[in-house]
Amino acid sequence: MQAKLFSPLQLRGVTLKNRIVLAPMLTYSARNGFISDWHLVHLGKFAVGGVGLVFMESTKVDPRGCTTPNDPGLWKDDFIEPLRRVTAFLRQHGAAAGIQLGHSGRKARNSLPWQGRAPLAEAPGVDHGEAWEIIGPSAIAHTAGASVPRAMTPADMRDQVRRWSEATKRAHAAGFDVLEIHAAHGYLLHQFLSPAANQRTDAFGGSLENRMRFPLEIVSAVRAAWPQDKPLFCRISATDEAGWTIADSLRFAQCLKAHGVDIVDCSAGGMTARSVADPGPSPSYGYQVPYAETIRRELDIGTMAVGLIIHAEQAETILQAGQADLVALGRELLYNPHWALDAAAKLDQQDAYATVPANYGYWLEKRANAGFARCLSTWQSGRQAPR
């Protein structure tokens, strides 16, 4: 019987060959917003490994929105052609190509994680060495040592709507099949949603409806600029450390559905100095899956589950139980880019070696069959040996 993990999923005009997703993972390897051969090799290996949907990491719509000087960008047309190489390779090997668009807001302008992830007091701008201004919903720093952002004006918000729309059109021109809006992890759109980061007194602050206003303007503009036959995802922090609750997420996700979002990517956290990649002491497998389950059940909208999804049987159980429509893996795929092939074998899928290209699968299947034959022969010889 075919495992649900390896069943196709139709999303608008895009068919994913399986339910395995490479989550958007920041690699901080771009230069002046431009990707390189690193990204082609990094992302390409997951398509070769059998992943159904491969996401490009958070790609910024505005150079001011870069988390570090090494973030990739889509704020100008010059970035399109290098990205086309990636999307063409991913599709050539059976994967849909996804991209996550984002803006870091008050969490911008930091050193790399392995250099301390410290706020940079002064740094040249990512694009051409311009001044690197920090903006956010309110003039409130992310942490005690971080820069205080300039509170955005209505003109700034209109400018951001335009930037997100234009970046979306570039993502289509670059050949991406799926687009995800990053509204989680304490970045700009999450900052507007948060009662802690957003203390505005105008129409964009105060009540939940007001705090959702700007993020939903972005979602509406992106959906209008993104082809109707291509699916739109939105990543949210279903809960955070500063007052955002699952009830708030249900209301926001209901609005996302009404604005044409197809899949809610359910993560958590990001409003404190602690990295979302370090969720605390000994988190359990699938610790964020209940968020995806709740939103899917309550709103009848597609969801993607994330967070310590490690084992094939675990992923299959999530899907079979109706907790999510897709499972996204990050560091587990870094550890084993051929996780999909391993999962197919462990779930006893027919033609498991067809998960990878024939010039891998042919030899791996021969190895497996030969190994089984040798083990069987050795075992039989042992049984027949004189006592």
Q: pLDDT value at position 1?
A: 81
Residues 6+ apart with CB under 8 A from 168: 101, 179, 221, 222, 225, 226
Query: Which DSSP helix (H) or strand (E) runs through 302?
Result: strand 302-305
Taking the C-alpha atoms of residue 321 and residue 305, their distance in angstroms, rounded to an integer, is: 12
Domain ranges (residues) in the chain: 4-352, 357-387
Is-above-0.85 flag for pTM? yes
- Please tell me which residue in 187, 287, 291, 362 is annotated as part of the active site: 187
Residue 362: active-site member: no
Evaluate whether 73 touches 79 at the Cβ level (below 8 Å).
yes
DSSP classification of residue 115: G
**126 within 8 A of 132, measured Cβ to Cβ:** yes
Strand partners, 11: 14
Angstrom distance (rounded) from CA 55 to CA 265: 12
Phi, psi for 203 (deg, rounded to 5): -70, -5
Cα(385)–Cα(221) distance, integer angstroms? 75
Helices (H) and strands (E) in the chain, counts: 11, 12
pLDDT of residue 387: 47
**Collapsed DSSP state (helix, strand, coil) of residue 78:** helix
- Residues constituting the chain: 387
339: left (phi over 0), alpha (psi -120 to 50) or beta: alpha
Going residue by residue through the chain (387 aa), what tens digit of pLDDT does each one get?
899 999 999 999 999 999 999 999 999 999 999 999 999 999 999 999 999 999 999 999 999 999 999 999 999 999 999 999 999 999 999 999 999 999 999 999 999 999 998 999 889 999 999 999 999 999 999 998 899 999 999 999 999 999 999 999 999 999 999 999 999 999 999 999 999 999 999 999 999 999 999 999 999 999 999 999 999 999 999 999 999 999 999 999 999 999 999 999 999 999 987 766 666 666 889 999 999 999 999 999 999 999 999 999 999 999 999 999 999 999 999 999 999 999 999 999 999 999 999 999 999 999 888 866 566 566 566 665 554
Domain 4-352, CATH homologous superfamily name and number? Aldolase class I (3.20.20.70)
Question: H helices of the chain, where?
Answer: 37-48, 80-92, 154-173, 188-193, 208-225, 246-258, 289-299, 312-320, 331-335, 339-346, 358-384
pLDDT at 373: 55
Query: What's the one-letter identity of residue 155?
Result: A
What is residue 370's predicted lDDT score, i.e. its pLDDT? 84
